[in-house]
């Protein structure tokens, strides 16, 4: 698994009960050698993994994505032009894990809109 | 399904899709019709998406997306066009039954449910040794070159 895809810079509880994560993408991550050669674009699934790891960091649990109700990728992300991203997540406890609804954005755009279920990996 | 009867295997897959190592997540296109295809991947040791001996959720979804991309590349080739670039536009109704073990051979069935403009809506089922490990719907945005 990639360990140098991003750095979690901050996680702040918000007044509405959600958590605001701030992440920094690493343009030197080896995944960009293949996605795509000479044209680094964030693989949508690597961003999905990044969101999962943010939730794991916050909850202190090892999680598995058991269901994705919907995950919309509304704009392309490149680590060269979108270095810092925000992930605002409403995390609620559910059976055997968490139900999460969130968006990924910066000051210019919304990139990902997601509702998914994470199960605690025992 | 055997590799010897497949349409494209290993290095040949690279002529159908733009992804390269370390995120090349499909190694076989077994068969394809106009709206259905079967593709596969043997998860090698050290695969980018393996953790603790398991092939993880993002790896499964990337494998499905690249299977669809290989299918689109194959269809383009039949029309004498270059392989297009495909992006995941939406993941919907993904359900995981279990994570496959490292070393598993995934067999993935793709069915195109509809095409609107440059977006294909497809449904996919990944199995290992006859057991379904996950199912999902995907929207793939195809960017023709």
Range of the domain at B78: 3-143
Question: Which tokens go with B56?
Answer: 């993880």
Q: Pick the residue from chain A with its C-alpha nearest to B85.
A: A36
The distance of Cα B97 from the centroid of its chain, to the nearest Å, equals 18
In tens, the pLDDT along B103-131 reads: 999 999 999 999 999 899 999 999 999 99
Count of beta carbons in the 10 Å neighbourhood of residue A28: 9
Nearest-Cα distance to chain A for B4, in Å, is 27
CATH for B58:
3.10.129.10
Which residue among B19, B56, B59 sits closest to A35, beta carbon to beta carbon?
A: B19
Q: Do B20 and A73 touch (CB under 8 A)?
A: no
- Select from B18, B69, B26 the least CA-distant residue to A40: B18
Instruction: Give pLDDT, residue A87.
Output: 98
CATH for A81:
3.10.129.10
Say if A75 is an interface residue toward chain B (CB within 8 Å). Answer: no
Number of domains forming the structure of chain B: 1
A7 and A26 Cβ atoms separated by less than 8 Å: yes
In tens, the pLDDT along A47-88 reads: 999 999 999 999 999 999 999 999 999 999 999 999 999 999
Instruction: Give pLDDT, residue B145.
Output: 59
Would you say residue A84 lies in a domain? yes
3-state secondary structure of B90: strand
Which residue among B48, B49, B94 sits closest to A68, beta carbon to beta carbon?
A: B94
Would you say residue A1 lies in a domain? no
3-state secondary structure of B130: coil
Query: Chain A to chain B, count of Cβ pairs less than 8 Å apart?
Result: 86
Number of domains forming the structure of chain A: 1
The pTM score is 0.96
Would you say residue A63 lies in a domain? yes
Would you say residue A44 lies in a domain? yes
Provide ipTM, 2 decimals.
0.96
Range of the domain at A53: 6-120
């Amino acid at each position: 698994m990639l360990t140098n895809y991003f750095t979690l810079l901050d996680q702040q509880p918000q007044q509405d009960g959600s958590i605001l994560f701030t992440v920094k993408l690493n343009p030197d991550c080896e995944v960009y050698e293949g996605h795509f050669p000479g044209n680094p674009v964030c693989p949508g699934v690597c961003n999905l993994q990044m969101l999962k790891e943010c939730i794991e960091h916050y909850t202190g649990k090892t999680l598995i994505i058991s269901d994705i109700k919907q995950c919309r990728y509304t704009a392309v992300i490149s680590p060269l032009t979108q270095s810092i991203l925000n992930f605002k997540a409403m995390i609620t406890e559910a059976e055997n894990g968490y139900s999460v609804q969130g968006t990924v954005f910066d000051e210019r755009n919304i990139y990902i809109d997601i509702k998914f279920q994470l199960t605690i990996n025992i | 399904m055997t590799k010897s009867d497949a349409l494209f295997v290993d290095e040949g897959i690279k002529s159908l899709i733009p992804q390269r190592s370390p995120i090349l997540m499909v190694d076989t296109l077994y068969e394809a019709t106009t709206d259905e295809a079967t593709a596969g991947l043997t998860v090698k040791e050290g695969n980018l998406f393996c953790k603790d001996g398991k092939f993880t959720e993002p790896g499964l979804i990337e494998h499905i997306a690249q299977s669809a991309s290989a299918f689109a590349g194959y269809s383009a080739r039949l029309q004498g066009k270059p392989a297009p670039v495909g992006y995941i536009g939406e993941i919907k109704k993904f359900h995981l039954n279990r994570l496959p073990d490292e070393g598993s051979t995934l067999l993935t069935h793709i069915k195109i449910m509809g095409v609107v403009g440059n977006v294909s809506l497809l449904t996919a089922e990944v199995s290992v040794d006859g057991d379904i490990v996950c199912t999902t719907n995907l929207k793939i945005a195809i960017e023709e070159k």
